[in-house]
Structure 1
Amino acid sequence: MLRYLAAWMALFLGCFMGMSTALAQDHIVERSWAEDPAGQWSWSDARKQTTQPFEGTLNRGYGTGVLWLRLRIDPQAGEVMGGTDADLQDLVLRIRPAYLDDVQLFDPLAPDGHAGTVGDRHHPRLDPLPGSDFLWPISRGDAPRDIWLRLQSTSTRQIHVAVLPPRELALRVLQWNIVTSLYIGAVMVLLLWACLGFVLRRDVLMGWFALMNITACLFGLTSLGFMRGFWPIAWSAEALNLLGSFASVLVVGAGVAFHARFLREFRPAPWAMGLLDALLLLVLVNLVLVAWGNVSWALQSNMVTILLAPPICLLCAITGRVWADSPEGSKVPALTRKVLVTFYLGFLTIFALSSTTGLGWLPATEWTIYVSQVHTLVISLLLMLVLQYRAFKLDQQRQQTQLALKTTTLAVAHERQLREEQEKLLAMLAHEIKTPLATMHLRLDGQAKGVKEIRDAMRDMNGVIDRCLQALQLGDGRLSARFQTVDLVDVVRSAWSASAQPANVQLNVPKALPVETDPQLLFIVLSNLLDNAGKYAKPQTTIELACALEHDRQMPQASQTPQAVRVTVANVPGKAGWPDPTHVFDKYYRSPQAKRQSGTGLGLYLAQHLVQALGGQLSYVPDDEVVRFVVTLPLNRVA
């Protein structure tokens, strides 16, 4: 498709430039102009003025003054292509472009000198000759003479005039119709491509590109005069004139909207994006001006928009932050900064040529009359290439993402399978180990030597197995809290009595303390804290287990109400010393000195996560004398 569009574009430009050269030969041998700022001159007044010569095309940009063109016609000039005698007697004046408002012809051979009026403020069905351009039959005459054109227009005052025999004109019009048909066809192909991309890819940016080409097609049909051939006689000429003005503003507005949507993907600096958004507001103002009849102001402002849009878009491309802000390994934009900035440099160059020509800042040639249509087609073609490359890169990223997702899914499934097998193995081992341990515990002779040490070792083994099973249940979410109102003191006493050394534990609790919690999970927490304290406390020292209410210290003392309960487990450290505060709750963490004792490094890890499940907090708050763990639980659970 890209090859076909490139060939189409080359054919269009080749035919266009070839036509420009061919059309330079006509019966006009001298051209000059003068400007009437107030628009009060008559034909007689204009003939008295000093005129300035020009070649080919006159370009005076925007303005309110009336232009008078003096054209010297030589009936013997140019080349005659043969034909009938009538061809040698008639000539046709061809005036372009087709969006000029009002053009009056004054010919000495016409009755009263005034030959007639054409322009897009006059209905095309009333023109002397039908066509996409303004065509005017004039007498050949026997000797060279001057004819005058009075031009008044709210759009840019560019005008190209040629005087040709009918047969040669017919050939040139045929060639021109082929070229303009290629232009409209190329725009329609781009529009179809954008619509297909929007429908198939669900890409919003392609939808904006399609909208831009819809307005480009409407602009081409009106500015090239195609709408003149289809405009019904019942519809007013002013409506056709307004349609052309609206199309000129809409094509710019759609282009700015597309680039604003496109550049947002690259996260430009807010101030640069704000300037682009301001241009969109200016387009809305221009549309309102056209609707109110201030067409000249609207079209001049529209040309300013064309001048400002490319440098602002370039600033947005340069200040894009998406490349710097994207974390390593994350999804990167489809276009690099270099590609984006290079495109907008070309965009700036093309639009600068178009706008400065329309404003009359550069010398005009015949083809510059249609520079707006040419640059619209070129920009659309370049945008198609950029969007096609973007779509290609996005497809690559999508494929990579799908591949990574598939790999991750397989890895997760494999990990789940391994985990299930580990759980089954651990559950089987726990059952196979705990059963003989229970049998050995029952068969032990209470009077035998070392029985106490054996029972302590068996208790430690049971504790290791229980913690491993609880860690698996916690990871699978099977240890979930089931809240109910219980007496916290009863839970504390149960954990105390079930500890390995209850005699070494100093209990400091009130008579009763109702709290809403899960007694089973809280029992596991306190058991793990007491077991940890019993293993690593200094021998012959007391472990403190206390619980008390905690008040809101931000409230006045007289109105303080208990908000939570604190359970504290403290012990004097033994040879293992104080644990590392940064790793004390890490899974499998054990200090180097603590490895002399049996353990899994899961006790504090389990305790912290279970307290969080209960809506509380487990803190490690040591001082210079003791290792202290504090469990803070709310009295009432917040739904």
Structure 2
Amino acid sequence: MFWAVSDYVAGRQRVVAWFVLYQSCYILYHLAITGRLVPIIGFIPSGATDVVTNYLVCIMPLTALMFHRTMFADYAPSKPALRALDLLAVLILIELGIMFYGNTQMALHVNALVKLLFVPLFLYLAFSAKREAVPKIATLRLFYILIAVAQLDEQLILLGWIEPQKIYLLVLLFQGIVTSGLMFSLLHSRSKEMMRASEQAQQSLRMSQQQLEIEKRQRREQSRFMDMLNHELKTPLSVIRMAMGMEQQSEPIKQHAIQATMDIDAIIERCLQADQMEQRQLVPKRQLCDINSMLVEFERNGTHQISLQSSPLPRINSDPQLLNIVLGNLIGNAIKYRDVDIPVQLDAQPHEYQGREGVLLGITNVPGVAGMPDPEQVFEKYYRNQAAHGNTGSGIGLYLVRNIVGLLDGWMAGCDTDR
């Protein structure tokens, strides 16, 4: 009873509400026929106990019928049988009217006939169920067979096939307890299954929402990617188009066209590298790397745009290809956005990090016309300072660098200083 009340408060299910009403009437009925109703409740007038008991005799089957009617509705059983249940409910209401007008004997007789139809009708409804619900049809049928067995004695007495004995009242009480227990078990099983189904539905909903959020992020990512391509490829493509449209190309025009193709190639290369990283296809292949030689090579190729200051550096266990991508992006960015009159400064020193021997590399420049980027966003994908759009770029380089450095078990940070 307490479980049913709490379950109804939590779920507001009609079938549980009818079970609570049935159990309440059942308890009051058995208190009345055992003479305990007046001592417990106390406000029933003298001589009214029999009247209350007679009304409970009729109301209790009505609440039981409505409980079963609500339970069967989910299983799509025989419609004529459901209409028969509705007719029995109407007959019980008529009984109450007959009793109200003083013909108690007739009302109780009709009530006995109505109750006689309950068990066969319930069994027919259980076995005519066509739609699976909670609990399953097989479980439903088993419960109603057990309920029919539990009420067999009462049915035989109502049919007049056996005489009621002195212990009939105790048998009736026992049958009521067994029937209520079976109804409770059926309802409890139903509630557990529905709770499990609800949890699965909520899990499916969460997964759908997560999938929807992933798709939204993918659409935003695609939109940002297309915006970047649309913005950053226009300038180099315009240069190439202009060069191809000229009958005679001067050397500076040729160099501009070559640089434009290199810019396009760099954007495509960084996009491919970023995609490989996000698809977890960039797997470090570690070996001993001579980072000093790599830095010297960058300085040599920088044609006086780079100034290297370095102490003797240890060989480090890393992936030379990924390390080259990191250094190329960092140094390339520093050169692209520097003050053209001041070279990029590379400072490399031996350094111990998390108990491992390594190299601490500082890359500094004096910002040019593009100014300083936002330090909070500088490593975000597609971020470019508004003033930096005069130079072709993808906004992917530093995002790629940060993630590759993480793959190589290193760390990095951007510092806003006078350089």
TM-score (norm 2): 0.53
Q: Determine if contact 1:246/1:287 at 8 Å carries over to the other structure.
A: yes
Deviations 1:176-206 (A, max 9, x none): xxxxxxxxxxxxxxx3332222224433322
1:404 aligns with 2:204: yes
Give the partner amino acid of 2:65.
V
When residues 227 and 417 of structure 1 are mapped into structure 2, their CA distance, relative to the original with a 3 A threshold, is closer
Matches within 5 A, 1:529-608: none
What are the residue-to-residue correspondences of 1:224-235 with 2, within 5 Å?
Answer: 224-227=34-37, 235=45
Output the aligned Cα RMSD: 2.8
Look up the equivalent residue of 2:17 and give its one-letter code: G
- Give per-residue Cα distances to partners, 1:505-526, cap 9 Å, x unaligned: xxxxxxxxxxxxxxxxxxxxxx
What's the offset of the Cα at 1:408?
2.2
Q: Which residue of 2 aligns with 1:206?
A: 16
Pairs within 5 Å for 1:99-118: none
Give the alignment of 1:188-337 within 5 angstroms.
191-227=1-37, 235-237=45-47, 239-323=48-132, 333-337=133-137
Counterpart CA distance in 1 for 2:50 and 2:106 is: 15
Which residue does the alignment assign to 1:543?
A: none
Determine whether 1:428 maps to 2:228.
Answer: yes
Counterparts of 1:203 and 1:264, CA distance in 2: 13
How do 1:335-484 residues align onto structure 2 when only pairs under 5 Å count?
A: 335-437=135-237, 445=245
Tell me, in whole angstroms, the C-alpha distance in 2 between the residues paired with 1:312 and 1:207. Answer: 22
> Per-residue deviation at 1:354?
0.9
Letter in 2 for 1:366: K
Alignment of 1:78-93 (within 5 A): none
Structure with higher helix content: 2
Check the 8 A contact 1:223/1:244 in 2, yes or no.
yes
- For the residues of structure 2 that align with 1:195 and 1:357, how far apart are their CA atoms? 33
Q: CA deviation digits over 1:250-298, x for unaligned, max 9?
A: 1111100111111112222322221111111111111111111121121
Q: Encode CA deviations 1:531-586: one digit per residue, 9 max, x unaligned.
A: xxxxxxxxxxxxxxxxxxxxxxxxxxxxxxxxxxxxxxxxxxxxxxxxxxxxxxxx
Match of 2:366 in 1: none
- Return the letter of the residue paired with 2:19: F
Name whichever of 242-251 and 391-400 sits farther off: 391-400
Contact 2:28 2:37 in 1 (8 A): no
CA 1:270/1:436 → structure 2, altered by over 3 Å: closer, same or farther? Answer: farther
User: Under a length normalisation based on structure 1, what TM-score does the superposition of the two structures give?
Assistant: 0.36
For 1:433 and 1:318, the matched residues in 2 are separated by 72
Which residue identity is paired with 1:398? S
Q: Deviation digits for residues 580-604 of structure 1, max 9, x if unmatched?
A: xxxxxxxxxxxxxxxxxxxxxxxxx
Which structure is larger by alpha-carbon Rg, 1 or 2? 1
Shift of 1:217: 1.2
Structure 2 unaligned regions, length at least 5:
249-419
In the TM superposition, what is the alpha-carbon distance from 1:321 to its structure 2 partner?
2.9
Partner of 2:355: none
CA distance in 2 between counterparts of 1:253 and 1:233 reads 25
Instruction: Give the aligned partner of residue 9 of structure 1.
Output: none
SS in 2 for 1:322: coil
Q: Tell me by how many angstroms 1:439 deviates.
A: 5.6
- 1:355 CA displacement: 3.0
Give the distance between the partners of 1:269 and 1:354, measured in 2 at CA. Answer: 26
Contact 1:208 1:258 in 2 (8 A): yes
Q: Which runs of 5+ in 1 are unaligned?
A: 1-190, 324-332, 449-639
Cα distance, 1:210 vs. partner? Answer: 1.1
Determine the C-alpha separation between the residues in 1 that align with 2:131 and 2:234: 59
CA distance in 2, matches of 1:377, 1:335: 22
Deviating more after overlay: 285-294 vs 227-236: 227-236
Match of 2:255 in 1: none
Question: 1:445: Cα distance to partner?
Answer: 4.6
Q: How does 1:469-508 map to 2 (within 5 A)?
A: none
Q: SS of 1:366's equivalent? A: coil
Q: Identify if the C-alpha distance between structure 1 residues 297 and 359 changes in structure 2 by more than 3 Å, giving closer, same or farther.
A: farther
SS in 2 for 1:282: helix
The one-letter amino acid paired with 1:418 is Q
1:116 corresponds in structure 2 to none
Q: In the TM superposition, what is the alpha-carbon distance from 1:241 to its structure 2 partner?
A: 2.2
% of aligned pairs identical? 24
How far, CA to CA, are the matches of 1:343 and 1:192 in structure 2? 22
Q: 1:320 to 1:435 in 2, by over 3 A?
A: farther
For the residues of structure 1 that align with 2:72 and 2:200, how far apart are their CA atoms?
A: 24
Q: Pick closer, same or farther for the CA change 1:319–1:430 going to 2, 3 Å.
A: farther
How many residue pairs match? The answer is: 248
SS at match of 2:129: coil
Matched residue type, 2:9: V
The code of the aligned residue for 2:35 comes to G
